[in-house]
Chain A
Amino acid sequence: MTILWAGLSVGAIYTLVALGYNIPLAQTGVFNFAQGQIVVFGTFFAWFVMVDRGWPWWAAIVGGAAAGALIAAVEELMAIRPVVAKGSHALLVTTVGASVVIEGVLLATWGSTTRSVNFFAGNNAFSLLGGRLLPVDLWLIVAAVVLSFGLHAVSRYTLWGLTGRAATDDMDAAIVRGVNVARLRMSAFTLAGALGGAFGPLIAPVAGIDVSTGISLTIYGFVALALGGFGSFPGCLAGGMAIGLVESYASRYFGVAYPPLILFGILILLLLAKPTGLFGQRGLRVV
């Protein structure tokens, strides 16, 4: 059971990354490769606010959300808007570029040494349903569940979600119906960036604060998204948790070298056998 809790806790982090991918994807059909690095930025920012400055944890969450939103908005303006018409080939180059810029700036400003943040709501392990876990694990799992279903509701039942789904389905048709697609994309990026930046105080105690985690978060977040299904928010939760569990159990029973190989195999098989994932929408499979 302890392994299960550990898996769910890590899975919650992948879920948060996948949700950040899914917001712009579901709203405007754009895949933002840099989301993983924005999450890494959030962990550094949590260290900066809570350890370096000594400010309270909620300042790190609010400030992280604002800073993440700002980064994503700048990315949208500089890396997405000018090339979105050129298609996904150009977007690959520019969003990878944006991701590398964030990584490079983090490296240059906060160095490559590992830092750490203590969880703000206690570090005493406790038992739940026969397994040991830390308070931060429970917070992460709750946050992932609440956000997944909250965003699902937003996507289903608000006008913003409806126009987004329309724009993803057929952008030209949405434009002639009066949807401001550029503004829609900007709002989606800002929301995803805020989400990516806000959870630093929760993610940092589990994942650590290190630039090199960026690539794993980027890739495993994508695997979570692919497994759950492109476009589906509850799918992000299912996919993220499944990957966390695979990683946790495979490390325990085979060794720490095996989870990446196993997940790679799962990703390949999944994309070949069921490219829409568990809950995905048909139209988004071109991702």
Chain B
Amino acid sequence: MYVRVRSAVLAGPWIAVAGTVILVILPEIGVGAYWQREIMLIGVYTLMCSGLNLSFGYAGEMALGQVGIFAAGAYVTAILYDHGITDVLAGVLASIALAALVGLLSGIPGLRLSHWSLAIVSFFLILIIPSVTQILQTQTGGLLGLPGIIGPTLFGQAISNTTFYVITVIVTAAWMFVFRNMIVSPFGFSLRVLGESSTLAESLGRSAFRLKVSAYVLGALPAGIAGSLFAYLSGFVSPDSFTMDVLIAVLAATVVGGADSVWGAPLGAALLVLGPLQASSFQEYSIAAYGIFLLVVGVLFSGGLVGLLRAAGRRVSRRIASLPASGEHGAGPPAAYASLPIPGERLAVSGVTKSFAGLRALAGAELVAEAGAITAIIGANGAGKTTLLNTISGFLVADAGEVTLGDRMLTGSKPYKVARLGVGRTFQTPQIPKSMTVLQIAESGRLQKSGASLPDSILRLPRFYRARRDNRAAALAALSFAGLVHLAGADAGSLPLGTRRLLEVARCVAGAPNVLLLDEPAAGLDDDSLRDLGSLMRRTREAGGTVVVVEHNVPFVMGLADNVFVMELGQVIASGPPEIVRTDERVLDSYLGRRHRHGAGLTPPPEPVQAAVTHSLSEKEPMA
């Protein structure tokens, strides 16, 4: 009960709507020009910070071009004003368009880089602002700037300062609404997944590059709007307003508020405008204080203030309601989730070769995996098993040969396209984003489904809710297959390794892919987890899935698989049902480490050795 009330209050945008209404009517109840100006400044910084949240906080890219975009928005507004176009809407729209353009132009080359290069390139944008304004002196007024942007209009009517205040509040609130809906949507999930690992994002059907560019360009838009509003607000635009100090202030506000949260932006912006930094006695130390804030937040609490509030909220709610972290999805019979059809298709690999600088990792591998069956790939280290999986899922490009799924050709497609063609996979080291709950992780398995587009999510159209309902049902079904439903609300970061492996398989199952590629899912699992993994794989098979598993735990897969392929030196040396493969001489040789026994004319091993190997291949105990 408590959880439901709390989530209704926090999840609903009602607080934000009420806050906006209060801000809009403030002038009516006698709040004067000084405070209106302060609130407008908070709005401007909120816009900039939230843009930084998108690219820096969520997508994890060090793209800090906000101040450059901010300057572009301010200048285009001022230049339009000088040419007699004084309408606020025209200024804001022109800024948005220019922000999108600058964002795209600086983002595409910038985002091909990474980490520090990207950060420096975006810092560099600030150094070139004075240059550009000097070169375009006739339009921009050079280093002196453009004065007199006073008295904007709206639809041809002159507007009062109070009206401009209301417009600023509404525009900021409208962006926050859009921003919040973007974050709480499949797009927001994708960004968080991307922030964790671009490999993971690709394996879930999202192009990492396109995600980065969209996060950066979408994050540029509010900075452009902020520039436009700032030009009208200050009435004067010059290069002095767009310095490194502004970027540092915005970065500090973003990080202090909480870079990976929606409401961190207004919080950080309010601290920036109203906080102790603005006290006059403090001013000469304000730069140093920003630096100390960055240091302290970076070292001690990377979630920022919102992160602290969230943690405190969780602790309080746990104590008051003494509920487990499982939250609202903990209850309910598992049977309710039990149906998740998985449309398995036939996977065929033929003649695939792959060399790494002279080493032939795959030398004409052949493999067929049928729907509704578990196909195991075993073999010694270096046999080419994982290389084969990576080639199927598009992370490696085969030198020759082809891979088909159903009647679709997979060879030559990028990983995210392969994922969209119906290939789901897991990794040897589980890739589980830390800042998400177990249920959210399972839902992220469905990112490759084109359920709700970004506009659907922003406007919260019925399609968004339908897709969310379907995704949640599928995620819960997959979790129930794995026996993880009771953990649905838990933080994924707190899970032990075995559970993370299971969760990764469950995420793959939730996507209901046409084939599931599992890369050593049993590594490091204890007996209980092994049993859960086995039942998860069996239920996936019963649901119709095509399951391909690479595994070193031979007894485990021998007890589970319908078909086994044994690889050695990049080729399949034996295949068939487990009981046939188990007695195949080449397989026994491979596991004994002898090659070309017949060709080299060596004597067969003594009887007890052969018996021991046969025993180990059939017994349910892990091999050394």
Contacts and interface: CB of A to CB of B under 8 A. Distances in A.
Interface stretch (B88-96, B288-296, B549-557, B595-603): B288-296
Contact of A271 (B117, B132, B285, B293): B117
Nearest to B251: A96
A88 B284 CA distance: 30
B120 A257 contact: no
Nearest to B134: A257
A82 B112 CA distance: 29
A232 interface: no
B121 interface: yes
B121 A271 contact: yes
A258 interface: yes
A114 interface: no
Contacts of A100: 248, 287-288, 290-291, 294
Contacts of B35: none
B210 interface: no
B462 to A, nearest CB: 37
Contacts of B112: 271-272
B116 A287 contact: yes
B567 to A, nearest CB: 28
Nearest to B57: A89
Contacts of B120: 219, 222-223, 226, 267
A104 B288 contact: yes
B616 to A, nearest CB: 31
A222 B121 CA distance: 10
Interface string A260-287: 1100100110011001000000000011
Contacts of B286: 104
A101 B289 CA distance: 7
A257 B124 CA distance: 14
B54 to A, nearest CB: 15
Nearest to A103: B287
Contacts of A287: 115-117
B128 A94 contact: no
B244 A108 contact: no
Binding site secondary structure of chain B: helix
A40 B123 CA distance: 18
B298 interface: yes
Size range of the chain B interface in the assembly = 35 or more
Contacts of A190: none
Interface string B244-266: 10001001000100000000000
B109 interface: yes
Given A101-B291, A108-B284, A215-B244, A93 B121 contact: no
Nearest to B285: A108
Contacts of A128: none
A202 B380 CA distance: 63
B445 interface: no
B154 interface: no
B123 A107 contact: no
A78 interface: yes
A144 to B, nearest CB: 21
B126 interface: yes
Contacts of B292: 97, 101
A223 B123 CA distance: 12
Which of A78, A105, A108, A275 gathers the greatest number of chain B CB atoms within 10 Å? A108
A23 B297 CA distance: 27
Size range of the chain A interface in the assembly = 35 or more
B302 A268 contact: no
A255 B115 CA distance: 32
Interface in A71-117: 78-79, 82-83, 86, 88-90, 92-94, 96-105, 107-108
B117 A107 contact: no
A258 B131 contact: yes
Interface string B77-93: 00000000000000000
A27 interface: no
A97 B292 CA distance: 6
Nearest to B136: A257
A264 B128 contact: yes
A215 B123 contact: yes
Given A97-B293, A104-B290, A92 B116 contact: yes
Contact of A272 (B109, B115, B130, B135): B109
Contacts of A90: 298, 302
Contacts of A94: 294-295, 298-299
A98 B290 CA distance: 10
Contacts of B113: 271-272, 275
A226 B117 contact: yes
B123 A92 contact: no
Given A86-B302, A219-B127, A264-B124, A107 B288 contact: yes
A97 B294 contact: yes
Contacts of B117: 226, 271, 275, 287
Contacts of B116: 31, 88, 92, 222, 287
A103 B255 CA distance: 19
Interface string B42-72: 0000000000000000001010000000000
Interface of B: 60, 62, 109-110, 112-117, 119-121, 123-128, 130-132, 134-135, 244, 248, 251, 255, 284-295, 297-299, 302
7 contacts: A90-B302, A93-B294, A104-B287, A108-B285, A108-B288, A264-B128, A271-B121
- Kindly list the 3 A-B residue pairs having the minimum CB-CB distance in the complex, ordered from nearest: A104-B288, A97-B294, A100-B291
